[in-house]
Amino acid sequence: MTFEEIRNNENIKDYIREADHYLGALGYTEHGFAHVGIVVKRTEMILRTLGFDEKTIELAKIAAYLHDIGNIVNRKGHSQSGATMAFRILDNLGFSAIEISAIICAIGNHDEGDGLPVSPLAAALILADKSDVRRSRVRNDDINDFDIHDRVNYSVTDTDLLINKEEREVELRLSIDHNISSVMDYFSIFMQRMELCQKAANSLDMRFKLVINGQQLF
């Protein structure tokens, strides 16, 4: 069973779609196919740049694709719910215990608060997930009705995650429109995420850098 087979599984697509629909009803930013697609690509990029083997990369891509399905249960504790759901899905599809363990460990540890970069898969997933800050994630069409999460995401006009293997650096580079949101707003809601990114980078023997509008802030 390959990542492409997982990506094309209609039942899994429904879980992702419905989880995103539930979060939309709660007013959260986009967590659907655009988000998981970016997270898959960045997870692969991180591990491939650092020289990990194809098997590890394949399992990491599956973890990245499935990482937010637990939101269909509840936003609170969604990483653990998602890991439990992924176990059942992958077990039924014939994945081995070793493969399932690697995937659900990464899913269960990807979120701030209770997640830790306990494996290279988990570390790459954390960095890929937490770096997805962008204007197109905002669902609200009325800028006058934005909450702080809407403002911060909408203010980000450009984002990139860079891996420098030689310098052992992971750099999250953002461009923010200060007319919409301030850097302080960003830190007020994302500080815990940046601290988790720092731990994730360190676990890969890397340093984490946050650069906003050309200035290093973390």
22 contacts: CB under 8 Å, gap ≥ 6:
71, 72
Q: What pLDDT score was predicted for residue 196?
A: 97
Q: What is the pTM of this model?
A: 0.96
Q: Give 113's pLDDT tier (boundaries 50, 70, 90).
A: confident
Q: What pLDDT score was predicted for residue 45?
A: 98
What is the tens place of the pLDDT at every residue in 114-138? 899 999 999 999 999 999 999 999 9
How would you classify the pairing of strands 215-216 and 207-212?
Answer: antiparallel
- Whether 1 has a pLDDT exceeding 90, the answer reads no
Average pLDDT on 94-111 reads 98
Q: What pLDDT score was predicted for residue 218?
A: 84
Give the ranges where the chain is alpha helix by DSSP (H).
Answer: 3-7, 10-26, 33-49, 54-66, 78-92, 97-108, 120-130, 148-155, 183-203
Chain position carrying tokens 């890397």:
206
Rounded Cα distance between 5 and 35, Å, is: 19
Length of the chain counted residue by residue: 218
Task: Check: CB of residue 38 under 8 Å from CB of residue 128.
Answer: yes
Positive or negative: CA dihedral 212, 215, 217, 218: positive
